[in-house]
C-alpha cells in the first residue's frame, strides 16, 4: 500500500514537472509560421525567410510549405494561421486586390503596400530584389549571331521564326496578345502551345526559336539561353516581397529588422541559380538557402 | 465562369477538340495493334524474346508522360513537337495490354487442338489464321479494349506537346485556375472512354455468339 502511494505520488510529480516544462517552453519561445506556395522558388524563399528569422531572433519557425496557391496563402494569413510568406507585387495587385496592373514597378509596389496595410492590416516589406515576370527567351548562339538584345530587335525577324508558348502565357491578359500588340510581333506560323518545361527542351533542340518563360527559371542559364530585354516595359512587374501579418509584427517586432535585411539582396541571376540548384541539380532547398545566406553574410 | 456557359460559348471548339482527340487515339491504336498483335504472336514462337519484350513494354508503361515527351523531342522522324510525338507516345502506352493479351491468348490455345490441326495436314499459316487467332480472339479483343480506354484517358496529355485534343481545355483550365474550363476537357474525355468501352462490349458479345 505504501509502495503504491509512493509510486502514484512519483507519477504525479513527474507529470507536473512535464506540464511545467512544456508550459515554460511555450511561454518563453513562441513560434512564427512561415508559408509558401507550391513551386520551387517559393519553397526556397520560405527557407530563406525562415532561416533568417532563426538566425537573428529567438523565435521558433514553423514551416507550412507547398500551400496550393496565392489565395490559400492569403486566406491563411487573414485567419491568423500563418504569419508571413513571399508574394509577388504583380500577383498581389491583380489576383488578390483585383486591380489592373501598371508597368511601373514603384507604382505597383506602393499600391500593394498601401492597400495591404489598409484593407488587411498586412505589412509589405521592401522588395527582395528580383522580378519574376514573363521573359522572352532565345538560344544564346542566335542572340550572339544576330545581335539580339531586346524584344524590339526580334520584331523584324519574327515572321520567319517559330514561337512556342505555354498555356498560361496564352491565357493571361499580360501574356501573348498584349505582347504582340506592344511590339508588333507577328509570327507566320501559329505558335506551338505546350507545356512550359517541354518548351525549353524544344528550344534547345531547335524545334522552336523563341519561347516565353519566367525570368527566374533556372533552366534559362543552365541551357545557355538568353532573355531578351523588355525594352518597352510591356510585362508588369512581379517583384518579390515579404508579406507579414500585422498582429505577428506587433507581437514580435524583432521580425522586421531580420526580414528587412534581405531587402534588395536577391538578384534575378541569384534566384535563377538557386532555382536551378533545386530543379536541375536536385539539391535540398534548405541547404541552398543556408549557403546563400552564409555567402552573403546575412 | 459557369461550366454550362463555358460549354455553350465554346461548343464548336469542344467538338473540334473531341475530333482531334479521337484522331490521335485512332492513329495511335492503329500503330499499336499493327505492332502489338504480330509481336505478341512472335513471342509465343520465340520464348527467349518474351522476357525482354514484355519487360520493355512494362518499363515504358512506368515512364511519366512528360518525361517520355522530353525523351522524344530530340529523336529524328518519330519525335519533335506536335501530333507525331503524341501519337508515338500514346502507341507506346497502348502496346502493353495488346502485347500481353495476344501472347496470353495464343499461348493458351489447347495443344491437343494444335496437334490435331497439324495431323490434318494444315500449314503453320493455316493453323494461325484458322485455329489460333479465332480461338484467342476474345482475349486479344479484351486487350485492345483496355488499351483503347487507357489511350483515350492518356491522350489528354497530348496538349502538353502542342498536339491538341481535349487536354487543351485541361491545361488551359489549370493555367487559368478555372474548374469550368478543366471540366470542359475532362468530361467529354470521360464520356468518350465510356462510349468506346460500351461499343467494344457489344462487339465482344457479338463475337462470342
Backbone angles phi, psi at A211, to 5 degrees: -130, 160
In 3D, which of A195, A211, A279, A239 has the Cα closest to residue B174? A195
Provide the percentage of residues in chain A whose pLDDT is more than 90. Answer: 65
| Chain A residues with at least one Cβ partner in B under 8 Å | 69, 164, 166-168, 170-172, 192-195, 197-198, 201-202, 205, 207-208
For A26-40, A129-143, A205-219, which range has the lowest pLDDT when averaged over its residues? A26-40
Whether the per-residue pLDDT at A18 is higher than 90: the answer is no
Q: How far apart are CA B5 and CA B181, in angstroms?
A: 10
The pLDDT, as a whole number, for residue A29 is 66
Average pLDDT score, chain B = 92
Residues of chain A with Cβ-Cβ distance to B76 below 8 Å are none
DSSP string, chain A: -HHHHHHHHHHHHHHHHHHHHHHHHHHHS-EEEEEEESSHHHHHHHHHHHHHHHHHSS-EEEEEEEESSHHHHHHHHHTTS--EEEEEHHHIIIIIS-----S-HHHHHHHHHHHIIIII-EEE----S-B--EEEEEEHHHHHHHT--BHHHHTTTGGGS-EEE-HHHHHSTTSHHHHHHHHT---SSPPEE--HHHHHHHHHTTS-SEEEEETT-HHHHHTTEEEEB-TT--SPP-BEEEEEEHHHHHH-THHHHHHHTTTT---HHHHHHHHHHHHTS---HHHHHHHHHHHTT-
Q: Is the pLDDT of residue A15 over 50?
A: no
pLDDT of residue A14: 46
Q: Is the Cβ pair A167, B175 closer than 8 Å?
A: yes
Check CB contact under 8 Å for A164 and B174: no
Q: Percent of chain A having pLDDT more than 70?
A: 90
Task: Kindly determine whether residue B66 and residue A167, on different chains, have CB atoms separated by under 8 Å.
Answer: no
Q: Do A192 and B81 touch (CB under 8 A)?
A: yes
Confidence tier at B1 by pLDDT (50, 70, 90): low
Using left for φ > 0, alpha for ψ between -120 and 50, and beta otherwise, residue B162 falls in left
Segment B156-171 mean pLDDT: 92
Cβ–Cβ gap A193/B161 under 8 Å: no
The residue-averaged pLDDT of A98-107 equals: 88
Is pLDDT of B109 > 80?
Answer: yes
Q: Which residues pair with A138 in a beta bridge?
A: A210, A226
User: Higher model confidence: residue A281 or residue B58?
Assistant: B58
Asked if residue A104 lies in contact with residue A237, where contact means CB atoms within 8 angstroms, the answer is: yes
Give the sheet arrangement for strand A210-214, strand by strand: A192-193, A163-165, A210-214, A134-139, A225-228
CA–CA separation, A247 vs A287, rounded Å?
30
Which of A202, A209, A211 would best serve as a mutation to test chain B binding (most B beta carbons within 10 A)? A202
Q: Which residue has the higher pLDDT, B1 or A205?
A: A205
Q: In the predicted model, is pLDDT for residue B193 greater than 60? A: yes
Answer yes or no: is pLDDT of B202 > 60. Answer: yes
A77 or A28, which is more confident? A77
Q: Tell if the CB–CB gap between B177 and A202 is shorter than 8 Å.
A: no
Q: What is the structure's pLDDT at A28?
A: 52
B27 has a pLDDT exceeding 70 = yes
> How confident is the model over A233-251, as a mean pLDDT?
94
Mean pLDDT of A238-256: 95
Q: A24 pLDDT exceeds 80?
A: no
CB atoms within 10 A of CB A279: 17
Cell of B184: 470542359
Torsion of the alpha carbons at A239, A245, A248 and A250, rounded to the nearest 10: 90
**pLDDT one-digit tens code per residue, A39-94:** 889 999 999 999 999 999 999 999 999 887 787 888 899 999 999 999 999 989 98
Look at the block and give the residue holding cell 508574394.
A87
Q: What is the tens place of the pLDDT at every residue in A130-153?
A: 999 999 999 999 999 999 999 999
- pLDDT at residue B123, as a whole number: 93
Task: State the nearest Cα–Cα gap between B14 and chain A, in angstroms.
Answer: 17
Question: Quick check: ipTM above 0.85?
Answer: no
A181-204 exposure pattern, b = at least 16 Cβ within 10 A, e = fewer: ebbebebeeebbbbbbbbbbbbbb
Amino acid at each position: 500500500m505504501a509502495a503504491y502511494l509512493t509510486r502514484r505520488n512519483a507519477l504525479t510529480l513527474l507529470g507536473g514537472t512535464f506540464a511545467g516544462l512544456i508550459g515554460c517552453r511555450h511561454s518563453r519561445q513562441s513560434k512564427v509560421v512561415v508559408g509558401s506556395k507550391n513551386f520551387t522558388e517559393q519553397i526556397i524563399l520560405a527557407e530563406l525567410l525562415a532561416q533568417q528569422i532563426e538566425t537573428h531572433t529567438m523565435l521558433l519557425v514553423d514551416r507550412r510549405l507547398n500551400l496550393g496557391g496565392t489565395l490559400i496563402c492569403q486566406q491563411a494569413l487573414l485567419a491568423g494561421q500563418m504569419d508571413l510568406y513571399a508574394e509577388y507585387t504583380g500577383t498581389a495587385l491583380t489576383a488578390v486586390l483585383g486591380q489592373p496592373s501598371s508597368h511601373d514597378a514603384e507604382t505597383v509596389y506602393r499600391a500593394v503596400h498601401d492597400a495591404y496595410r489598409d484593407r488587411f492590416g498586412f505589412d509589405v516589406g521592401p522588395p527582395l530584389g528580383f522580378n519574376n515576370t514573363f521573359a522572352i527567351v532565345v538560344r544564346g548562339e542566335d542572340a550572339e549571331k544576330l545581335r539580339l538584345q531586346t524584344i524590339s530587335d526580334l520584331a523584324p525577324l519574327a515572321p520567319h521564326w517559330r514561337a512556342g508558348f505555354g498555356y498560361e502565357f496564352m491565357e493571361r491578359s499580360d501574356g501573348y496578345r498584349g505582347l504582340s500588340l506592344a511590339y508588333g510581333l507577328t509570327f507566320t506560323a501559329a505558335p506551338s502551345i505546350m507545356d512550359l518545361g517541354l518548351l525549353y527542351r524544344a528550344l534547345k533542340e531547335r524545334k522552336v526559336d523563341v519561347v516565353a518563360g519566367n525570368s527566374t527559371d533556372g533552366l534559362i542559364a543552365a541551357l545557355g539561353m538568353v532573355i531578351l530585354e523588355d525594352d518597352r516595359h510591356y510585362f508588369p512587374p512581379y517583384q518579390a516581397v515579404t508579406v507579414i501579418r500585422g498582429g505577428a509584427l506587433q507581437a514580435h517586432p524583432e521580425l522586421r529588422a531580420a526580414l528587412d535585411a534581405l531587402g534588395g539582396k536577391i538578384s534575378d541571376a541569384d534566384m535563377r541559380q538557386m532555382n536551378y540548384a533545386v530543379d536541375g541539380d536536385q539539391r535540398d532547398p534548405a541547404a541552398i538557402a543556408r549557403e546563400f545566406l552564409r555567402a552573403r553574410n546575412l | 465562369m459557369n461550366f454550362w456557359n463555358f460549354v455553350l460559348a465554346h461548343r464548336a471548339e469542344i467538338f473540334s477538340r473531341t475530333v482531334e482527340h479521337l484522331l490521335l487515339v485512332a492513329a495511335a491504336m492503329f500503330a499499336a495493334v499493327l505492332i502489338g498483335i504480330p509481336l505478341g504472336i512472335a513471342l509465343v514462337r520465340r520464348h527467349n524474346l518474351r522476357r525482354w519484350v514484355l519487360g520493355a513494354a512494362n518499363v515504358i508503361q512506368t515512364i511519366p508522360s512528360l518525361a517520355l515527351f522530353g525523351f522524344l523531342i530530340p529523336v529524328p522522324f518519330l519525335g519533335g513537337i506536335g501530333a507525331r510525338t503524341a501519337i508515338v507516345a500514346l502507341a507506346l502506352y497502348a502496346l502493353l495490354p495488346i502485347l500481353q493479351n495476344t501472347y496470353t491468348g495464343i499461348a493458351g490455345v489447347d495443344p491437343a487442338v494444335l496437334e490435331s490441326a497439324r495431323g490434318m495436314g494444315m500449314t503453320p499459316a493455316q493453323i494461325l489464321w484458322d485455329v489460333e487467332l479465332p480461338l484467342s480472339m476474345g482475349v486479344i479483343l479484351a486487350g485492345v479494349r483496355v488499351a483503347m480506354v487507357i489511350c483515350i484517358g492518356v491522350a489528354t496529355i497530348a496538349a502538353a506537346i502542342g498536339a491538341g485534343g481535349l487536354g487543351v481545355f485541361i491545361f488551359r483550365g489549370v493555367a487559368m485556375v478555372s474548374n469550368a474550363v478543366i471540366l470542359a476537357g475532362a468530361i467529354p474525355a470521360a464520356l468518350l472512354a465510356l462510349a468506346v468501352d460500351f461499343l467494344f462490349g457489344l462487339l465482344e458479345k457479338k463475337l462470342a455468339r
